[in-house]
Structure 1
Amino acid sequence: MTTRTRPGRPVGELLRDWRRTRGMSQLDLSIEAGVSARHLSFVETGRSRPSPDLILRLAERLDLPLAERNTMLLAGGYAPAYPSHELTDPQLAPFRSAVRQILDGHSPYPAVLVDQHWQLVEANPAVALFTADAKPHLLTPPVNVLRLSLHPDGMAPRILNLPEWRAHLLARLRQQAAATSDPVLSDLLDELRGYPSGDDIGAPTSDELSRVVIPLRYRHGDRELAFISTTTLFGTPLDVTVSGLAVEAFFPADPVTAAALHALGTPAAGMA
């Protein structure tokens, strides 16, 4: 897991940086965490050593990723509180089974499991609908699903409403990068901003659906398919790896798309 922090920085400096990133004053955070502003000031300046309980309490109020909470504990001289397992570890077998049920149960509609950097972890076979015409360099692991979506050699030429879909994805990534201060996400955002915007494709379709959500309008052969996307996070994660994972699932936005996907059935696996 990549973190925003550099090794060896004092816990007080890390705390101050995150507090400022969250736009909170010392008084705001002290009230939220139930500690005096004077004591918080001493912690930030290194005059007072916080207990592990206080570090975790402050990290929770700052809504820090689990990996950053571990980093802050280490900086304070304490052991990490949250484990970080590989997905193949036996401890995560129930999690892997649940994910597989979600992905398989979503067929014949596409669904993927991605990590905190939008790298593909798993996919159901229906995702081949989106990857059939992508160039091999975008499908060589590790596959980044945002890069695959917006790159001219990926899905972008077939996205009929590319300008609005691109704006939607960039806004999500921008918010995620700001919330986590993750340099990997910031670099990815800079990269994706440099891709063609698709302004030459035409104005987005104006219909009832587009007034409610931003659909993905995708050309498959001579048909236009419309999808609504959802994001599923895993509740109350206590493992660093699990906390960074999400299921991105696509549902048909109209009966025509639903019928087409059922007619296609389950295509040959492309990235599963």
Structure 2
Amino acid sequence: MSTDSNVGALLRDWRRRKKISQSELALQADASARHLSFVETGRSRPSRELILRLADCLEIPLRQRNTLLVSAGYAPMYQETPLEAPRLKTVREAVHRILGAHAPLPALAVDVDENIVAMNAGTELLLQEVSPHLLVPPLNVMRICLHPEGLVRQVVNAEEWRSHLIGRLYRQAIYSGRASLRRLYEEVSAYWPNASAPPGHGQDLSDTIVASIRILGLGTELQLFSTIATFGAATDITVAELSLETMHPADQRTAAAFRRAAEERAAGAGRPGQVSVIVPS
């Protein structure tokens, strides 16, 4: 029976996304190019072990590995545990420690659909001028950043920043194949239909080490750059799809502004370094 509409077609699609030839992939996966060709065209059913080897070579996300296994008639291998479940207590604690330790600077944890699952007090400081209707759970990073009533209205290098975020979201949507990310990309792109400036427009980056975001906030112009980390060797889909984004000051003025704002807030509310947990419904 032909499986061309199932696992073979899926594997072929992933291989083409990665721009790898059949012979190259077969060599990496310790398989024959002829057998891989038969798998992709539905003339041969791959073993469970071959699917997993191919998935490793193609760096396919865990959720999509389950899809491949099911399409080939095998049971899924990876669990998807709700973040609030007892099983993920140690993961939640690790997230809270990282986000809390990064205060007073912004840090947040984001799921595969760009929804915020946790953020620290520094992030709340950064978002305090964002329209309240964008801060109703589930909070979505792309909507908060790119909506005309969101953070973008405070961003000095807005064209460059929009281009970066929309480009990043597009790549995520294509790479993951998730329809939800494709819809999110179409939504946020429509916020600025005439925005077509290339990255770096209007800014000389020749003397910079990393490109920074310039935001008007906390009584000054803040300059920040971000880093994104994931959990290595995760075997649970929820954990594998979790990203931790930390923002860092690009100058001393920005660091001092966050430190001062956090001290003033702590004096009034008594909650320095607090992590706010948001679990999307």
With normalisation by structure 1, the TM-score equals 0.88
The letter of the residue matching 2:213 is L
What is the aligned residue count? 261
List gaps (5 residues or longer) in structure 1. 1-7
- Give the SS at the match of 1:227: strand
Q: Structure 1 residue aligned with 2:87, among 81, 85, 91?
A: 91
Q: Structure 1 residue aligned with 2:140, among 144, 147, 152?
A: 144
Alignment of 1:202-221 (within 5 A): 204=202, 206=204, 211-220=208-217
Structure 1 range deviating more: 169-178 or 110-119: 169-178
The letter of the residue matching 1:212 is I
Report percent identity of matched pairs. 43
Q: Structure 2 residue aligned with 1:13, among 9, 15, 19?
A: 9
1:29 aligned onto 2:25? yes
Per-residue CA deviation, residues 57-107 of structure 1 (Å, 9 max, x unaligned), is 111111111001011111111111111111111211111110000000000
**Aligned position for 2:239:** 242
Q: Distance in 2 between matches of 1:21 and 1:207?
A: 31
Question: Is this contact kept in 2: 1:127–1:271, CA < 8 A?
Answer: no
**Aligned position for 1:113:** 109
Question: Is this contact kept in 2: 1:120–1:145, CA < 8 A?
Answer: yes
**Aligned position for 2:34:** 38
- Give the SS at the match of 2:129: coil
**Aligned position for 1:170:** 166
**Aligned position for 2:230:** 233
1:102 aligned onto 2:98? yes
**Aligned position for 2:261:** 264
Q: Distance in 1 between matches of 2:117 and 2:256?
A: 28
Per-residue CA deviation, residues 80-138 of structure 1 (Å, 9 max, x unaligned), is 11111111112111111100000000000011100111111100011122221222221
**Aligned position for 2:188:** 192
Q: Distance in 2 between matches of 1:255 and 1:225?
A: 10
Q: 1:206 to 1:42 in 2, by over 3 A?
A: closer
The letter of the residue matching 1:116 is V
Q: 1:198 to 1:134 in 2, by over 3 A?
A: farther
- Give the SS at the match of 2:239: helix
The letter of the residue matching 2:23 is L
Per-residue CA deviation, residues 160-219 of structure 1 (Å, 9 max, x unaligned), is 1111111221222222222222222222222222223498xxx7454776x322211111
- Give the SS at the match of 2:221: strand
Q: Distance in 2 between matches of 1:208 and 1:44?
A: 46
Cα RMSD of the aligned pairs, angstroms, is: 2.3
**Aligned position for 1:63:** 59
Q: Structure 2 residue aligned with 1:73, among 69, 75, 93?
A: 69
With normalisation by structure 2, the TM-score equals 0.86
Per-residue CA deviation, residues 34-56 of structure 1 (Å, 9 max, x unaligned), is 11111112222322221111110
